[in-house]
Structure 1
Amino acid sequence: MTSDLQDRIHASLALAGMGDALGAPTEQWSIDEIAAKYGGLVLAFDDPPADTFAGANLGRRAEVTDDASQMYYLARAMVAAGGDLDGRQWVDCLLDWVEHSPKAGFMGPSTAGIVKALREGGDTAAVGVIGSSRRKMTTVGTTNGAAMRVAPAGLLHPGRIDAACRAALVTCFPSHDTDVAIAAACSVAAATAQALATRDLDTVLAAALAGAETGARMARDSARAVAGPSYPARLRMALRIAAEERDDYAFLRRMESEVGNSVLAAESVPAALGVVAYAQGDPLRTIALAASIGNDTDSIATMAGAIVGALRGTAALPPGMLAEFKQANAAEFDLDALAAGLAALAR
Structure 2
Amino acid sequence: MGAMAGLALGDALGMPTQSMSAEQIRQYYDGPITKLMNAVPQQPIAPNMKAGAVTDDTEQAFVLAQRLIDDNGCIDNTRYAHDLLQWEAAMKAKGSLDLLGPSTKAALQKLTEGVSLEETGRFGTTNGGAMRATPVGIAFRPGQALADAAWRSCVVTHNTVQGIEATTLVAAAVSFAIEGERDFLHLAVEFVQKLPQRGNWSAKASVLARVQYFMNWAETDGCRLNDDEFAAVLQRDCGTSVESNESVAAAFAIAARFFDDPTHALCFAASVGGDTDTIAAITGAMLGAWHGMQGFDKTMLDQVLSQLAEDDHLDLVGTVTSLSALRDDSALNDANIV
Q: Do both proteins adopt the same fold according to a TM-score greater than 0.5, normalized to the shorter chain?
A: yes
Instruction: Give 1:206's aligned residue.
Output: 186
Match of 2:53 among 30, 54, 63: 63
Runs of 4+ aligned residues of structure 1 deviating over 4 Å after TM superposition are: 36-40, 101-105, 123-128
Residues 10-49 of structure 1 correspond to what in structure 2 (within 5 A)?
10-38=1-29, 40-49=31-40
Match of 1:143 in 2: 126
Distance 1:34 1:206 in 2: 31
Per the alignment, residue 5 of structure 1 pairs with none
CA distance in 2, matches of 1:281, 1:164: 26
CA RMSD in angstroms, aligned pairs only? 2.1
User: Aligned partners of 1:180 and 1:62: how far apart in 2?
Assistant: 31
Q: Say yes or no: does 1:250 pair with 2:229.
A: yes
Indicate whether 1:175 and 2:162 are aligned.
no
Tell me the distance in 2 between the aligned counterparts of 1:150 and 1:279: 21
Query: Which residue is equivalent to 2:99?
Result: 106
Q: Which moved more, 1:111-120 or 1:168-177?
A: 111-120
Match of 1:165 among 143, 147, 150: 147
Aligned residue in 2 for 1:224:
200
For 1:208 and 1:76, locate their aligned partners in 2 and report how far apart those are by CA, in whole Å.
24
Quick one: structure 1 residues 337 and 122, their matched pair in 2 at CA, closer, same or farther if it must change by over 3 Å?
Answer: same
CA contact (8 A) 1:237 1:259 kept: no
- Contact 1:16–1:303, Cα closer than 8 Å, also in 2: yes
Pick one of 136, 139, 143 that aligns with 1:153: 136
Return the alpha-carbon distance in structure 2 between the equivalents of residues 208 and 33 of structure 1. 34
Deviation by residue 1:143-196 (Cα, 9 ceiling, x = unmatched): 1111111111111123x1433221110011121111111111111111011010
Q: Deviations over 1:108-128 (max 9, x none)?
A: 111111111212334566769
C-alpha distance in 2, partners of 1:105/1:38?
A: 22
Cα displacement (A) at 1:277: 0.2
Q: Identify if the C-alpha distance between structure 1 residues 95 and 214 changes in structure 2 by more than 3 Å, giving closer, same or farther.
A: farther
CA contact (8 A) 2:19 2:45 kept: no
Q: 1:237 aligns with which of 213, 235, 238?
A: 213
Q: Does 1:298 align with 2:277?
A: yes
1:316 aligns with 2:295: yes
Q: Report the TM-score, using the length of structure 1 for normalisation.
A: 0.86
Change (3 A) 1:29 1:146: same
Share of identical aligned residues, percent? 30
Contact 2:120 2:157 survives alignment (8 Å): no
Q: SS state of the match for residue 197, structure 2?
A: helix
Q: State the partner residue of 2:108.
A: 115
Q: Which residue of 1 aligns with 2:243?
A: 264
Cα distance, 1:50 vs. partner? 3.4
TM-score normalised by the chain length of structure 2 = 0.88
Relative to structure 1, is the Cα distance of residues 153 and 127 closer, same or farther in structure 2, using a 3 angstrom cutoff? closer
Match of 1:187 in 2: 169
Letter of the structure 1 residue corresponding to residue 77 of structure 2: G
Relative to structure 1, the CA distance from residue 78 to residue 123 in structure 2 (aligned partners, 3 Å threshold; closer, same or farther) is closer
In 2, the alpha carbon distance for the partners of 1:237 and 1:305 equals 21
Contiguous gaps of at least 5 residues in structure 1: 1-9, 129-135
Contact 2:161 2:202 in 1 (8 A): yes
Distance 2:63 2:211 in 1: 27
User: CA contact under 8 A between 1:241 and 1:255: conserved in structure 2?
Assistant: no
Cα drift, residue 282 of structure 1: 2.2
Question: Which position in structure 1 is the counterpart of 2:178?
Answer: 196
Following the alignment from structure 1 to structure 2, what is the Cα–Cα distance between the partners of residues 228 and 49? 33
The answer to whether residue 326 in structure 2 is matched with residue 345 in structure 1 is: yes
Q: Do the aligned partners of 1:191 and 1:211 also contact (CA within 8 Å) in 2?
A: no
Q: Match for residue 88 of structure 1?
A: 78
Q: CA offset at residue 214 of structure 1?
A: 4.6
Aligned amino acid, residue 216 of structure 2: R
Task: Report what 1:7 is aligned to.
Answer: none
d(CA) in 1 for partners of 2:120, 2:55: 24
Please state how far the C-alpha of 1:293 moved relative to its aligned partner: 1.2
Cα distance in 2, alignment partners of residues 145 and 279 from structure 1: 24
Deviation at 1:38, TM superposition (A): 4.3
Larger displacement relative to structure 2 (321-330 or 161-170): 161-170
Q: Which amino acid aligns with 1:52?
A: Q
> Is the contact made by 1:165 and 1:186 (CA closer than 8 Å) also made in structure 2?
yes
C-alpha separation between the residues in 1 aligned to 2:208 and 2:193?
A: 7
Alpha carbons 1:183, 1:214 under 8 Å: kept = no
Shift of residue 257, structure 1, vs aligned partner:
1.0
Q: CA deviation at 1:281?
A: 4.0
